[in-house]
Structure 1
Amino acid sequence: MTLHDPYAFAIDDAVAVALLADLQVRRAIARGDFDDLPGSGEPIDLPDHHDPDWWIRSLVQREHIALLPPSIQLRKDDAALDDRLDKLMDEKSVRREVDDFNERVIRARYEPPAGPPLITMPRDPDATVAAWAERRAARAARHREAARAAERRTRRRGFFRRR
């Protein structure tokens, strides 16, 4: 024969944390910790109509989140891909980024369209890596030329200062 206590129940971690937090708040109220807070006793500024999605709207506005259809987001990602690749240091990470982009494009092609049609095409990884390497070499050449020009300017100044 087992005895069953109807008032006994299992408490998981989330319930225990909630009960402890509630207990701490009740004790603080009893001590009067919340009596002199700024805005105490003043009316809360609420809108005239109830919007059930007020929190998501305020989050989108506060965090500047753009909720775009996948086809538009992929167009934007495609336009910004070269700039993102130029910040990477090695070919392996460039290939990984291009593969990730191509995977998202292919996945979007197999999903039902949500918005405008998808016109973004996957990128050729070899051609994209070659273009990245050319841009990187051109940046390095410009940097070397700027360093040489700065060195020539400092050398000239030193020559004229000696006289």
Structure 2
Amino acid sequence: MGERKPADIGFESWVDKQIREATERGEFDDLPGAGKPLPGLNAHMPYDELWWVKQKLREENVSALPPTLALRKQAQEARKAAARAGSEAEVRETVAEINDKIREAIRNPPAGPPLNLAPFDVERLVAQWRENHPGRD
């Protein structure tokens, strides 16, 4: 299918011919998902023409957020991770990692909306963790 479209044939006709010939050769037989509905199409949800792009972003764990908003999201996730940490040391490590990222963003502001985020108070989060996990260090 590497040939060029002849000048005297319309584009649609040429494409249709290529597809028909490939079908006749069996090149579309045994494709993954053959005969099944496309994943991501949901009869109960309104049609979204970008459903497959959104699905690919989720599968690849890619964020389309501007850097400052992505950092805000990371900060929220770090706070939740600190709250469910297994030890005080884990709380401190989690908070230190996100605080380093926040400080770097404050020093060198990334593109996008304002960060509006300050480093977390480590001791305050550790104290909250201790309240919720009595008898553990």
Q: Could you state the TM-score of these two structures normalised by the residue count of structure 2?
A: 0.52
Unpaired runs of 5+ in structure 1? 1-38, 43-56, 141-163
Residues 115/88 of structure 1: CA separation in 2 closer, same or farther (3 Å cut): same
Q: Match for 1:41 among 12, 27, 37?
A: 27
**Moved beyond 6 Å, runs of 4+:** none
Larger C-alpha radius of gyration, 1 or 2? Answer: 1
- Decide whether aligned partners of structure 1 residues 76 and 112 sit closer, same or farther in structure 2, where only a CA change above 3 A counts: closer
Q: 1:81 aligns with which of 73, 78, 83?
A: 78
Root mean square deviation, CA, Å: 2.9
1:133 aligns with 2:130: yes
> What is the deviation of 1:87?
2.6
Choose which of 69, 73, 77 in structure 2 pairs with 1:72: 69
Structure 1 segment 1-163 matched on structure 2, within 5 A: 40-42=26-28, 59-60=56-57, 62-63=59-60, 65-137=62-134
Count of residue pairs the alignment pairs up: 88
Verify the 8 A CA contact 1:82 1:132 in the aligned structure 2.
Answer: no
Higher helix share: 1
Q: Report percent identity of matched pairs.
A: 30
